[in-house]
Amino acid sequence: MSRIEDAMAKAAGLHSSSSKGGGKKKKRAKGSDRHPLKHGEESRSIRLPEETMVVVNEPFSPMAEEFRKLKEALVKMTKRERFDNLIAVTSATAGEGKSMTAINLAATLAREFDHTALLVDADLRRPSVDKYLNLGSKKGLADCLREGLDVGDLLVRTEFGKLTVLPAGTHVPNPVEFFTSETMRQIFLELKNRYADRYIIIDTPPVLPFAETRSIASIADGVILVVKEGRPTLDQIQETIEALENKVLGIVYNGAQLQDRSSYYYY
């Protein structure tokens, strides 16, 4: 058994998956994503400065293909009797590539004919979605939590297929106070039900250093856990899975050095 397979097998043995209810399709509410691009439609050739945005920059690369495989696995797990559309993406520790994974996964879903994606930057401590997608500073989730602004008015339509973004928004000094509030819970339930026809991918803070993701996981239908080779220990992975209340749908093993390749590869 290879090093990757061995690590994946050990990690997989530590978790069990579970999912909750979805919801019937509803009409889209007002917002900047009211008229998404049609499948395959791009206003121009787009390239992002962040090289890890492989789905946008190198859509036919082996790395982009790995995200398509991840997308297929997610669809099979979440589109059965019910559509479990609220999916959080996180990691045990910082620097494992969870934001990169969340954005590439959302972009992959948005480029498919049958899917629409809403990407939420819920990492209010270190927001990165607006930077990675070159959106610029905009109001977003934090402003919904703090000022009671309507989510639909803050959605940003992108040029990457049918992808819409809810940015992190204005900086807040102590995000955990918002994420443990009933207001936060209601906002995410509203997202799930208002946009019940699309995947909602949530980029969250790492689990072990901060408490916010545990609150989000209690509402989400499932969690994708990103594990970077050489970063967390198996004990840290186990602690993370337990903290997420068995909501982990699967593990993305990231940054693996394959024996037959000279560069790092997203597995």
Q: What is the dihedral of CA 117, 232, 52, 110, to 10 degrees?
A: -10
Looking at residue 179, its pLDDT comes to 86
Q: Which CATH architecture has domain 3-12+64-254?
A: 3-Layer(aba) Sandwich (3.40)
Please say whether the beta carbons of 169 and 139 come within 8 A: yes
* Structure confidence at residue 16 (pLDDT): 41
The pTM (predicted TM-score) of the whole model is 0.80
Residue with tokens 């696995």: 73
User: Could you report the average pLDDT of every consecutive run of 10 residues in the chain (267 residues)?
Assistant: 45 43 41 40 64 90 93 90 92 96 95 88 94 88 92 92 93 86 90 91 96 92 95 95 93 77 46
Element (H, E) at 87: strand 86-91
Please give the distance of CA 114 from its chain centroid, rounded to a whole number. 18
Residue 91 pairs in a beta bridge with 226
State the SS3 of 167-231: CCCCCCCCHHHHHCCHHHHHHHHHHHHHCCCCEEEEECCCCCCCCHHHHHHHHCCEEEEEEECCC
In angstroms, the CA 4 to CA 265 distance is 11
